[in-house]
């Protein structure tokens, strides 16, 4: 043991562990106050680029409740698919009552769904009204660049009565920060860049797919799109719940990821003639 002379005051040791712990907790608290900064906990948790699909983060972030209650208005059943489903049994879905479908066409400016042709053309061949969607990655390229990539690779529109306008799938980032590293104003500007470009290319306003909680966190619950862009909202529960600001009603509700034949099932808010009306513009 070290010896100390009588009368010499001891210098107290610094509480290094306590100080380090306090610094760490302060940093974590600051991180938690920044919208959309949560990321995957390890490299193993991050999926490969291109594998994102519509509604991938819904259960993790919003949970899942019971099946929808009987609607007060007529609803028309539809599905959404991506490369995860591969070749889809469209005849089986048609016979089960599914009358419309959306297939993932693109992601960012780096990915095209290899199953898109079978899914997009196959649904059309059995009589469904169908469309394409784009999974947005606002941290990789501009909204305009991604809208052009989408239109050039399956996301266009034609007035044939069976082609729905394209969808901007804007939701939780499976590859990193949940708001893609953008401020709320930056995210709104990115979405506007995409939708403006899509309309200029096709003459149609893109449908916006999102979840209310994500929209609140990452756009500040911006109300600027409800007057032009139809809403496709994700909520796996008994009712559609609160909608994002600006939309008094949803056009489509994705209500489950565990439906028959294809997991992702949706209800169009109206009878089949309203689906055709959206297709016709």
Kindly report, residue by residue over 205-243, the tens digit of the pLDDT: 999 999 999 999 999 999 999 999 999 999 999 899 999
Percent of the chain with pLDDT over 70: 77
The residues assigned a catalytic role are 80, 169, 171
In this structure, of 30-39, 114-123, 162-171, the range with the lowest mean pLDDT score is 30-39
Q: Is the pLDDT of residue 62 over 80?
A: no
Mean pLDDT of 14-41: 44
Global pTM reads 0.80
Q: Say what the pLDDT of residue 145 is.
A: 98
Mean pLDDT of 22-43: 44
Closest among 163, 169, 133, 164 to 151, alpha carbons compared: 133
CA-to-CA separations, 200 to 181, 197, 205, in angstroms, rounded: 27, 5, 9
Most confident of 35-44, 64-73, 168-177: 168-177
Residue 247 CA to its chain's centroid (Å): 17
Q: Which residue has the higher pLDDT, 94 or 4?
A: 94
């Amino acid at each position: 043991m070290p010896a100390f002379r009588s009368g010499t005051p001891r210098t107290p040791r610094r509480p290094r562990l306590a100080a380090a712990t306090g610094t760490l907790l302060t940093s974590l608290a600051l991180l938690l106050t920044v919208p959309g900064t949560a990321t995957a906990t390890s490299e193993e948790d991050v999926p490969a680029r291109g594998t994102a699909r519509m509604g991938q983060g819904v259960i993790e972030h919003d949970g899942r409740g019971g099946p929808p209650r009987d609607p007060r208005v007529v609803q028309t059943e539809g599905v959404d698919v991506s490369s995860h489903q591969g070749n889809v049994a469209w005849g089986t879905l048609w016979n089960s009552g599914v009358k419309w479908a959306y297939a993932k066409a693109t992601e960012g400016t780096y990915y095209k769904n290899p199953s898109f042709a079978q899914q997009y053309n196959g649904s059309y061949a059995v009589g469904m009204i169908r469309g394409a969607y784009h999974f947005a990655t606002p941290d990789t390229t501009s909204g305009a660049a991604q809208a052009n990539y989408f239109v050039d690779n399956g996301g266009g529109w034609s007035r044939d009565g069976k082609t729905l306008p394209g969808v901007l799938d804007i939701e939780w980032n499976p590859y990193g920060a949940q708001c893609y590293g953008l401020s709320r104003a930056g995210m709104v500007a990115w979405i506007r860049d995409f939708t403006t470009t899509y309309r200029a290319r096709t003459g149609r306003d893109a449908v916006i797919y999102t979840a209310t909680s994500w929209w609140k966190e990452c756009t500040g619950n911006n109300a600027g799109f409800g007057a032009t862009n139809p809403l496709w909202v994700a909520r796996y529960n008994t009712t559609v719940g609160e909608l994002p600001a600006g939309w008094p009603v949803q056009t489509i509700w994705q209500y489950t990821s565990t439906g028959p034949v294809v997991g992702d099932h949706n209800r169009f808010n109206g009878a089949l003639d309203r689906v055709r009306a959206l297709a016709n513009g």
